[in-house]
Amino acid sequence: MVTAATGTPTAIVTGASAGIGRHTALGLARAGLRVVMVGRSAVRLEAARRFVHDQVPAAEAETEIADFSALDAVRDLAARLLDRYPRIDVLVNNAALNSPRYAVSAEGYELVLAVNHLAPFLLTNLLLDRMRSSAPARIVTVASQAHHGARIEPATLAHPPNWTPLGAYRRSKLANILFTRALAKRLEPATVTACCLHPGVIATSIGDRIGFPMSLAWRLAKPFLAGADKGARTPIFLATVGDPMPFHGAYVIGESVVEPDAAARDDRLAEALWQESARLVGL
C-alpha cells in the first residue's frame, strides 16, 4: 500500500549513512525534497537521519535498510520503495565499497563489482517505470576518476582474473560510467535523464581498504583532502539543476561535462556490459 503523499518530490540516496551520501541527502532535503536514505546499518542510518533533521528540522527524511551484497536485498528494497512512494523523482546511486581481499557476493559474484555496479544496475531498472511515471526524473550515479586506465571484460565480469583491491575498484567505476552511457540511450531525456560524476578526491573511508601500501598512503593524505560535504556538491547539483538535459548521458566533474577515459566512451563495450549485467542479475 502506498503511504507517501502523492505530490511530494522524492529522492532515493543509496549509501546515505555516511560520507558523500549523507551530505547529498542533506543537500536534497535543503532543496525541499523528501529524502529516502538507504544503507545497510540501522544504527548508522538513524544517526544520519538525525544529522539531516538537526540541520533541516522540517526535512522529510526517511530510511530504508538494504545490503547491496545480496541481489535479493536489492529486490526487496525496490519492492518497498515502490510500495511506499507513488513518485520517485531522483535516484542517486552512491553506495560503494572497496575490499582489501577477494570476496564474493551472496550470488557468488566478485564483491566490489557486485555492490558498486550490479546492485545499482538492478535497483535502477526495477525503479525505472516508477521514475518514468514521475517525469521529469533523474538518475545520478557516483563514479570516479579512478576509472582511468581500467579495463573490463564482460565475459569475466563476475569472476575477473588478476584481482587486486585497487583494480577491482577502478573496474567498478568504469562500469558505472558505461552503465550510465547505455542507460541514457534507453531513456527519453524529457522523461528521465541519467548522468554520472566524479565527486573529487574526498576524505572518505573508501580508500582505507585498497590494500597496503595504497591504504597507508590514503590515510596519510586524508587530513589534507576535501570533506564529504564538498564531494556531495556535484550530485546535489545534478539532482537539482534547473535544466538537466545538457548532462544527459554525461560524465561530470564540478558542474562541467568532461570526457572520461576512452574505454568509458566505447558504446559497444557499454552495450555488452549491459547485456551481461542483465543476465547476472536476472532481468
Helix (H, G, I), strand (E, B) or coil at 141: strand
18: three-class secondary structure by DSSP: coil
C-alpha cell at 44: 548508522
Beta-bridge partners for 195: 140
Helix (H), strand (E) at residue 24:
helix 19-30
Does the annotation count 169 as an active-site position? yes
Percentages (nearest 5) of helix, strand, coil residues in the chain: 50, 15, 35
Task: Measure the CA–CA gap between 20 and 24, rounded to whole angstroms.
Answer: 6
Q: What is the DSSP letter of 118?
A: I
CB-CB neighbours of 162 under 10 Å: 6
Q: List the grid coordinates of 48.
A: 544520519
- Which of 85, 102, 109, 169 is catalytic? The answer is 169
Q: In a 10 Å sphere around its CB, with 0-12 CB exposed, 13-18 middle and 19+ buried, how is residue 185 labelled?
A: middle
What are the catalytic residues?
169
